[in-house]
Amino acid sequence: MGSRLEKPECTMRRHPTQRSRRGLWFLSIALPLAGLALLYPVCLALLRGWPPMVAYAAIGVLMIGAVVAFSTAIFRLIGRQDRHLARQYAELELRYATERQLRAQLEALHQASLAIASTRTSEEVLQRLVELARELIGARYAALGVLGPHGFIDAFYTAGLTAAERAKLGALPQGHGLLGVILAEGVTLRVPDIAADNRRVGFPPSHPPMRSLLGVPVAHAGHVVGNLYLTDRVCEGAGTVDSAEFSPEDERLLAMLAGHAAAVIEQARLAEQVRTLALAAERERIRMDLHDGANQSIYSVNLELETAVEEVDVDPAAAQRRIDLAIDRLGNVMKDIRGYILGLESGHVAQSLPEAMTALLAETRAHTLLETELHVEGDGVLHLPPALVQELLQMAREAVSNVVHHARAGRMWATVHATDYEVHLTIADNGIGFDFRSACSPGHEGLRNLHERARGLGGTLVVESALGAGTAIDMRLPLRNAAWEESHG
């Protein structure tokens, strides 16, 4: 009922060289013995039928023939074995060369991955890739040209040149001659003798002489962004320039490194685009910040000056005081604008949100007749990321500015509360309120800015108001945000 497990048969296969040697050893012993055994009866027969001298002569001829035949057979076997050994040696050399090429590819991939994964700048990574290409393939010189947005080389990396030799080259190469073929046509070039190629344009003064060339395009998504090339193949171990051209394997290895260079170049360009977009976003933030911060202050100065004009004939001293006050406020506006341009905020960056709100409300009380209160709920609001505190403080400034200039309120209060997921900031007043149907009128641009800012930060803003019943602005921003976490370390 059960099945019996049979032990698999294992056979030992002798190597062909071993079998040939055993056969040669056997023949070298067996053939002489067999020859001697056959020679003895032949000698006896010849001596009985022939004269001794003739018989011995015949025996000598037979022995010479046997030796010649034996030697021929042995040397044929030796020759066959030598040819077999030569084929084996050639196969081993080929395998060894393939193994070295694979090791070089793996080393190139390893070194390139280490360079890319490091915290270096893109310029340092590209320079390292050029050095790797020169070292791993074996060339006297290596270079990488990177095309700029206008199609000209605006970055150039070299290996093998001294600082003095690099300085003598002068301006960056712009892709003429053979290098221009790589850039314009996106093809790989393997040239054994640069001087003999009719596409060359010659070297500039003070350029070191170069003979062989291997160049590959650096391309991303089918678009050429530069070229990576080597010159003067160096004999391995000898340190001398090889007269032969670069090999197809060299070409494959250089193309592999060019792919890594293309990825680094594209990553650097994407980072530059992100920086540009971030700068545009920051400019938009400053524009929004200035709306109710600086513009409302300028509007207040305008009212002071209009009142001063009305009082100048009736009460010149009062008019002068208003003008002095307007000048002071304009000075503060200029300071605020400079702070925004420099990316700074008035107040201390290291303040917590309750501390910053306390300072804001104290400043408001000092310049208005408003009564202010601050309610803080929970300890979570004491440890918010600085970037989040900055955004909430600026939104609070806009909300407070709306109360001061539009609400006609006698009292204003702020509430700060944080949960595990978001932070709440509410600014409320007992002013005249407004009708939501008029919220899109020009006078409510500040609320629109607040809505846009909250939405842009992944949060929400809710406004509750009614005529004669005051206004409450509830701002909610998430605690989980890449910008907050990066600033919070």
Task: Give per-residue pLDDT as tens, 276-300.
Answer: 776 666 666 666 665 555 666 676 6
270-274 long-range Cβ contacts below 8 angstroms, 24+ apart:
271/122
Query: In angstroms, rounded to a whole number, what is the distance separating the alpha carbons of residues 148 and 145?
Result: 10
Look up residue 79 and give its two tokens: 């020759």
Query: In angstroms, rounded to a whole number, what is the distance separating the alpha carbons of residues 89 and 96?
Result: 10
Task: Enumerate residue ranges in the chain where pLDDT < 50.
Answer: 1-13, 343-349, 440-443, 487-489
- Report in angstroms the alpha-carbon separations of 189 from 23, 196, 202, 368, 450: 53, 14, 16, 77, 59
Task: Give per-residue pLDDT as tens, 197-225.
Answer: 888 887 878 888 899 999 999 999 889 99
Look up residue 122 and give its two tokens: 């893109």
At 230 the pLDDT is 96
| DSSP label of 9 | P
At 283 the pLDDT is 64
Please list the residues that pair with 416 across neighbouring strands.
376, 425
Beta-carbon-side half-sphere exposure of residue 154 (alpha carbons within 13 Å): 8
Q: Which of 392, 394, 472 is nearest to 430 (CA)?
A: 472
What architecture is the 115-268 domain classified under in CATH?
2-Layer Sandwich (3.30)
**Do residues 228 and 216 lie in contact, with contact meaning Cβ atoms separated by under 8 Å?**
yes
SS (H, E, C) 197-243: CCCCCCCCCCCCCCCCEEEEEEEECCEEEEEEEEEEEECCCCCCECC
Q: Which of 427, 351, 339 is nearest to 385 (CA)?
A: 351
**Is 3.30.565.10 the CATH classification of the domain at 349-489?**
yes
Query: In angstroms, rounded to a whole number, what is the distance separating the alpha carbons of residues 164 and 61?
Result: 83
If you search the block for the tokens 């907050």, which residue do you land on?
Answer: 484
At 206 the pLDDT is 80
Helix residue ranges per DSSP H, 186-247: none
At 411 the pLDDT is 92
Query: In angstroms, rounded to a whole number, what is the distance separating the alpha carbons of residues 299 and 431?
Result: 20
Task: Give per-residue pLDDT as tens, 407-448.
Answer: 889 999 999 998 888 899 999 999 998 876 655 444 466 788
Q: Edge-to-edge strands of the sheet including 223-233?
A: 153-159, 139-147, 223-233, 213-220, 189-191
